[in-house]
Structure 1
């Protein structure tokens, strides 16, 4: 069978062959060689951005070749500037991979990766899914994700799904009628694996539980289920294992970086040490001992288009005591949970739906800094946001149109501009909250 997936990456200028070979070489290093490799990558990426990225240079200030521990911690607010002001010399919209973060942390921004670093991201995905017998060129994916609802965005995503051997189950409406339709697809299609938002896959499993159906029995080709984007609670994992009859693999990633941690076949949450350097720091930005919780700070070792050096992702985590530099193990991730919105029509929508709403309206000018959405009544929502300029009626209309498109019409919204938004005691912005 032809490797459509690899070919489409290659055609788009992502050197996947080279990336796979390089990644393979990194995984073969001895502990000693790995330490040298890591030091070299860290030095090179900092050196590159100090010489070629004005934004990073200004952030670091005029320290002479600063020590690693003195480098500034980069946060999402730093990155809410137009992309042009953050791109490295030699990079433009023509020779990069461009995307927006989901804004799941409430702080959205546009980012870039150079083509080689994006190819490495894919090589890393391919390797990790391969641990479970999944091959992107041939395996068929049941994808529980959102999808852009504007015509061009929708068609583009569907075409990408076709190339990537994925069938998409949009998660904006998870009422029983829709879940029944999902179930019918599993009866008729030979899926190899499920992949998608934790909350949506858990809702599907709860539906199967009501019906007393085991998914593997009606779709025997299934090998594994990969959940992402939100916390997977132990009780939910047990439910998924019971209703699906296949291994449930927990992944933790960020679109602007890479897969950060991925459960390996031994059940350990293995941190990606090939393309990222992950630190756990205390509130004074000092490393904490393994086994202690702290904020997760990540360096992208290869991305030359945008600096992600000591980047605070907004989650709290603990590295296992048995972690080594080459094989760090994430013991616990704290953060990333999501509510479900229940709408007048009976439709259930995961809180993640709102990222699609906001993603479709967040501009690259960095005006809207953060936002949260609260559901106060079945048909009423409050949007609180922090911005340089108040949203004008045209922007509000755009948001309301997007909400009608992704959720349903006739919902009431109030917009309140604030100086600061309330955060959880972990300092995390809970993006969506239902008060029903």
Structure 2
């Protein structure tokens, strides 16, 4: 009777560079150190390999968290005791925990190997520390994620980015190629890649239940609103993103292609307030295109055909630090490589907030269908939507008439609903 063969040992798996890369990137920093201390063999494979620390997620490292301090007491005694050094600036005070972790990496000569660094939601990320990370020769960060870090001043950040991309900058600078700042770290919509070593049983050993288990669909799915940004902030970011084009990529793009077709269909109520230049795209419409004809915006970017600087960064950041890998869409059919995004202004009254279907100007002009907008009977609206005419109303109160409006009205969620 034959005995079932034992599975390969972990040391054997980690000796394979492809499998090792798929496993190590999912391990927290303390676990990588612990694995390297297990034996000399593990130390040779893990601790002494530069690729072991090429991608670090310090947002899950407890040592980087700033301990909460309540309101300053009247005498200031508690605050002074916490600070210990009155010469510290506010930035130095908050950045202390993260600087401590980075100092450990520096002493162990790990810091130069780090190409991808995730610092999401850390209060210890400050503008002074960011300036050091992206300008100091001690760092070699290519992809940096600082989403929802509360102590970052966005205006100082914009100034820093424009300085990095200024004309006449030093050759081969900046080292930073991609910055994650706009999207929500809590919004996880993944698409699993069924190809490659990560699909093999056991290849995800140690993986955390996060978006790292697959490429995030994000911009390449009908996700809807990906971020909230005011018009004033958007205007300032347009200037920064434009100045960094082709030098530093972001997890956001400008609404350039949808903007070219906006004038003919923009609603009267926003016509006087619409931006004169493309603003930041905040809505992902998915690859399917217009609900009526299937086309996308004029000259919309398609992966493999359009310029790389037309594509946003995709989550999670590529551990290689390579900008091509960082912007590569999730694996899927050909049409999923088409990027269709818009700002709220350009898609006004042509997009369903529920199912995220949308219509191009050729298939639907909200201004022509305005006369039907006052119809109170949703069944009449649904009938009008099926007549094949671009003048018939297709979106009412933010919902598509054919698929979502009646359900929302009957549930009482829409304006004038049965239970509203």
TM-score under structure 2 length normalisation: 0.26
TM-score under structure 1 length normalisation: 0.25
> Which of 1 and 2 has greater Rg?
2
Q: Which of the pair is proportionally richer in strand?
A: 1
Larger RCO (CA under 8 A, 6+ residues apart): 1
